[in-house]
Amino acid sequence: MNDHHIKTVLSESREFPPPEAFQSRAHIQSMEAYETLWKASCDDPERFWGEQAKNLLHWQEDFTQVLDWKAPYARWFDGGKLNVSENCLDRHLDKLGDKPAIIWEGEPGDKATYTYRELHQAVCRCANALSDMGIQAGDTVSLYMPMIPELAIAVLACARIGAIHSVVFAGFSAEALAERNRDASAKLVITADALWRRGNELALKDTVDEALRIYDKVDKVLVVRRTGRSINWDSGRDHWWHDTVEKANADHKAQGFPSEQALFILYTSGSTGKPKGILHTSAGYLLGTTLSSRYIFDLKDDDVYWCTADVGWITGHSYVVYGPLSNGATIFMYEGAPDFPHQGRFWELIERYKISIFYTAPTAIRAFMKWGEDAIEPFDLSSLRLLGTVGEPINPEAWMWFRETIGKDKCPIVDTWWQTETGSIMISPLPGATPTVPGTATKPFFGIQPDIVDQDGQSLADNQGGYLVIRKPWPSMLRTIHGDSERYEKTYWSHFKSLYFTGDGARRDEKGNFWIMGRIDDVLNVAGHRLSTMEIESALVSHPHVAEAAVVGKADDVKGQAIACFVTLHDHELGDPALNQSLKDHVVQHIGALARPETIIFTKALPKTRSGKIMRRLLRDVAAGEEAQGDMTTLEDSSILEDLKESSA
C-alpha cells in the first residue's frame, strides 16, 4: 500500500447511509438492530451459535455441546450429525425444486441452467459414481477444473459422501498441483480436457498428466469433456465424466456425518515457501457461510446472485457454492475472463441474467475503471441492488466509481474482510443497516470479536494502527493446517496468547469502523491472490543460474501489488534479457501464471544486514523507484545500494 492510499484513507469522511428503498426490505434495517444482535451474540457466543445452528441448518442428529475449546483447537457442535450437501440441496426440494440453483454461461456463450431438482440429481449421480470408483468418507479428492457447473457438482458430491475436496485453482502449474496432491494424499483428480480463456484452450488434462508423473500415487482421473480437444488417455486410470457420472444412479441417500467431519482442504500461501493446507470441517463452516450469506448479501427469494470468484479460492467455496446454495439462492456462474470477447462482458451478463447481487474484487474494479465507461454504457444494469468487494483493501476512488458507475448511487456496497482461514466473512457492513464509508470494511459480523492490539497483545485506542486479531473462536474457523499442527499453532496462535492473529495490520476509528491496512508478513496480494515472497524466491533459486533471490511487492494500479524480483547469478555476466525472460517462465512453470514476475532485476549482491538478513524494506523502495528511506546503518555494504539503483534504472 502506498502513502497516497494511506493519506486518502485517513482523510476519508464521506458517509453513505443505506438507500431507503433497500433498507425497507432488508433483513436487518437499523444500526440499533445490528448492535443489539451483535452485542447479544458476543455476550454469550455459545448460546448465539447454538441457536443459529438449530435455526439455519438441518440436522440428522442434534448436537449435545456447542463448543469444546481447548485452545487453539475447537470442536463445534459435538454429538451432532448432518450432511452438508443435503443442507444445500435436498432440504430445498419441496419448496424450491423448480427454482434455478445454478445459471451458467461459458466463455464462448454456451448456456446451462440447473434447477435445485436437477442439481440434486446431478450431485447424487456424481456421489454414486465417486463411491463406485472407490472413494470413501475421509478420502481426499483433488479438483482441477474450469468454472463449469460440474465443478460445483463435484464439490457437493464429495461433501455428500464425506470425502474431502481439495480444489486447486486451474491457473496453478503441474508442479503446484503435484505438490498439493502429495500433501493431501489425493486418491482421485477430477479435471476437464481444457477450459476456455480468452478464446484459447488451457489444456488442463495435459497438466494433470504431468502432475501425475511428478506424484503418481493418484489412482484415478475423472475427466469432463469441455472443449473437445484431443487428449492423452490412460485407459487404466482415466474415466470420462459422461461415461461414469452421467450414467450413474440418481438416487442417493445423504448420510449424516459428525459435525467435525473434514469438509475440505484449501491451499494458501503463508510466509514460508510451502503452501498451507487450510482444513475446514462441516457443520461450523456451513453455519458461518449460511448465516453470513443471508445477512451480508441480504438474500431474498428472487435474487440472482453473482460472485465472480473462481471456486479455486475460498471466496468461491464459501460464496459461490456453500453459502448461497444452503440459503436456496439462485447463483450465476461464468467460465471466462471479464474482457473477452469485449470489455463489457460482465455488464452484458448482468443485463442478460438480471443479476441483482454482484460480488467482485477491487483489482477487477480497477480494471473496469481503466477500460472506461464506453464498455458499460450499452448495458442495462438496473437489476442490481447490492454490490460487494473482497480480497484486498479497496481504495476510495475505486469504491466511489463502483458505487456511482455500476451501482448508480442506489446500491449499497459491502466491503467484506475475511480470509481463507476464517472460512466466512468476519468484518462487513450489513447493507440495510450500516452507514458505509469508502475504504473501510466497517463492523464485525455477528458472533465475531475483532480487535487491534500492539505487539504485546494489548488493545489499542481508536485510530492507532496495530495488529488485527480475533478474540474468540468462531464456528467457521480453520481447524488446523493439514499435516502440520505445529505450524497452525505457530502461525495463528503464538504471537498473542489466546488471540487469533490474522497477519493483517489495521486500525479502528472512533465510530468503530475497521480499516484494514494489509499484510504485515511476507505475503503479497497480487490481483487479490495471496502469494508468499518465499515461494517465489524458492522457485527462482531452483534455476541453475540463480544464486540468490529476494522478492518484494511493488504498487500496481490494477493488481494492487506486482511482483518485483532481485536476483544474483552465479555468473553475473549472464544477466541478459533472454535470461530475464526465462526466469519469469521458470516461476510460472513452478507456481503458475498468477505468479509471473513483473520485473526481474539482476544485481551483483543483495543488501543485507550485518547479521545476514535481506533488507526488504530497502528493496521495496528501490522497486518503487523511490529514494531508499530509513535507517541504513545496519547495511553491511553500502555500495550495494548504488549498484541496485543502477541495475533497476
- Please say which residue, 388 or 447, places its beta carbon nearer to ligand WT7: 388
Q: What is the rounded CA–CA span in Å between residue 219 and residue 517?
A: 45
- Please say which residue, 124 or 311, places its beta carbon nearer to ligand WT7: 311
Q: Is 420 annotated as a binding residue?
A: yes
User: What is the closest distance, in whole angstroms, from the C-beta atom of residue 504 to ligand WT7 in the complex?
Assistant: 5
- Please say which residue, 181 or 420, places its beta carbon nearer to ligand WT7: 420
- Please say which residue, 83 or 525, places its beta carbon nearer to ligand WT7: 525
Q: Is 504 annotated as a binding residue?
A: yes
Instruction: Kindly give, in sequence order, each residue whose CB lies less than 8 Å from that of residue 600, ignoring residues fewer than 6 positions away.
Output: 565, 567, 580, 583, 584
User: What is the closest distance, in whole angstroms, from the C-beta atom of residue 418 to ligand WT7 in the complex?
Assistant: 4
Q: Is 198 annotated as a binding residue?
A: yes
Q: Is 417 annotated as a binding residue?
A: yes
Among 503, 560, 592, 607, interactor with ligand WT7 by CB under 6 A? 503
Q: What is the rounded CA–CA span in Å between residue 556 and residue 235?
A: 47
User: What is the closest distance, in whole angstroms, from the C-beta atom of residue 318 to ligand WT7 in the complex?
Assistant: 8
Say if residue 424 is exposed, middle or buried (CB neighbours under 10 Å; 0-12, 13-18, 19+): buried
Beta bridge partners of 635: 609
The yes or no reply on residue 308 touching ligand WT7 (CB under 6 A) is no
The yes or no reply on residue 502 touching ligand WT7 (CB under 6 A) is yes
Assigned C-alpha cell, 371: 477500460
Q: What is the DSSP string of 197-249?
A: ETTEEE-HHHHHHHHHHHS----EEEEE-SS-------TTTEEEHHHHGGGS-
DSSP code, position 60? S
- Please say which residue, 282 or 360, places its beta carbon nearer to ligand WT7: 360
Interface pattern 507-536 for ligand WT7 (x via CB under 6 A)? ---------x-xx-----x----x------
Of 159-167, 498-506, 537-545, 547-555: span binding ligand WT7 (CB under 6 A): 498-506
Q: Is 19 annotated as a binding residue?
A: no
- Please say which residue, 47 or 490, places its beta carbon nearer to ligand WT7: 490
- Please say which residue, 417 or 446, places its beta carbon nearer to ligand WT7: 417
User: What is the closest distance, in whole angstroms, from the C-beta atom of residue 87 to ligand WT7 in the complex?
Assistant: 22
Q: Is 603 annotated as a binding residue?
A: no
Three-state secondary-structure class, residue 339: coil
User: What is the closest distance, in whole angstroms, from the C-beta atom of residue 530 to ligand WT7 in the complex?
Assistant: 4
Q: What is the rounded CA–CA span in Å between residue 114 and residue 261?
A: 28
Q: What is the rounded CA–CA span in Å between residue 355 and residue 359?
A: 11
Residues 400-429 that bind ligand WT7 (CB under 6 A): 415-420
Interface pattern 89-128 for ligand WT7 (x via CB under 6 A)? ----------------------------------------
Phi, psi for residue 425 in degrees, rounded to 5? -65, 135
Say if residue 167 is exposed, middle or buried (CB neighbours under 10 Å; 0-12, 13-18, 19+): buried
User: What is the closest distance, in whole angstroms, from the C-beta atom of residue 555 to ligand WT7 in the complex?
Assistant: 15
Q: Is 273 annotated as a binding residue?
A: no
User: What is the closest distance, in whole angstroms, from the C-beta atom of residue 468 to ligand WT7 in the complex?
Assistant: 8
DSSP code, position 482? T
Q: Is 435 annotated as a binding residue?
A: no
Of 116-124, 184-192, 391-399, 487-495: span binding ligand WT7 (CB under 6 A): 391-399
Q: Is 473 annotated as a binding residue?
A: no
Q: What is the rounded CA–CA span in Å between residue 68 and residue 640?
A: 54
Judged by phi (left if over 0) then psi (alpha if -120 to 50, else beta), residue 295 lies in: alpha
Beta bridge partners of 374: none
- Please say which residue, 184 or 394, places its beta carbon nearer to ligand WT7: 394
Residues 45-84 that bind ligand WT7 (CB under 6 A): none
Q: What is the rounded CA–CA span in Å between residue 372 and residue 429?
A: 28
- Please say which residue, 49 or 467, places its beta carbon nearer to ligand WT7: 467
Cis peptide before 341 (omega within 30 of 0): yes
- Please say which residue, 416 or 480, places its beta carbon nearer to ligand WT7: 416
Phi, psi for residue 283 in degrees, rounded to 5? -65, -45
User: What is the closest distance, in whole angstroms, from the C-beta atom of residue 567 to ligand WT7 in the complex?
Assistant: 26
Interface pattern 260-299 for ligand WT7 (x via CB under 6 A)? --------x-------------------------------
H helices of 500-569, where? 533-541
Beta bridge partners of 61: 81
Amino acid sitting at position 130: L
Q: Is 557 annotated as a binding residue?
A: no
Amino acid sitting at position 638: S
Among 314, 364, 453, 569, interactor with ligand WT7 by CB under 6 A? 314
Q: Do you know the residue count of the chain?
A: 649
Nearest to 139 by CA among 175, 178, 190: 190
User: What is the closest distance, in whole angstroms, from the C-beta atom of residue 200 to ligand WT7 in the complex?
Assistant: 26
- Please say which residue, 215 or 297, places its beta carbon nearer to ligand WT7: 297
Q: What is the largest CA-CA distance in the chain?
A: 74
The yes or no reply on residue 441 touching ligand WT7 (CB under 6 A) is yes
Nearest to 457 by CA among 442, 446, 467: 467
User: Kind and range of the H or E element at 121?
Assistant: helix 116-132
Q: Is 391 annotated as a binding residue?
A: yes
Cα–Cα distance list, 204 to 87, 145, 196, 585, 619 (Å): 31, 7, 10, 18, 36
Q: Is 543 annotated as a binding residue?
A: yes
Q: What is the rounded CA–CA span in Å between residue 193 and residue 202?
A: 9
User: What is the closest distance, in whole angstroms, from the C-beta atom of residue 595 to ligand WT7 in the complex?
Assistant: 14
Residue nearest to ligand WT7 (CB): 420
Question: Annotated binding residues, as ranges?
Answer: 197-200, 315, 391-393, 415-420, 504, 519, 530, 541, 543, 546
Question: Annotated binding residues for Mg(2+), as ranges?
Answer: 541, 543, 546
| Residues engaged in binding ligand WT7 (CB under 6 A) | 268, 314-315, 390-393, 415-420, 441, 502-504, 516, 518-519, 525, 530
Question: Annotated binding residues for CoA, as ranges?
Answer: 197-200, 315
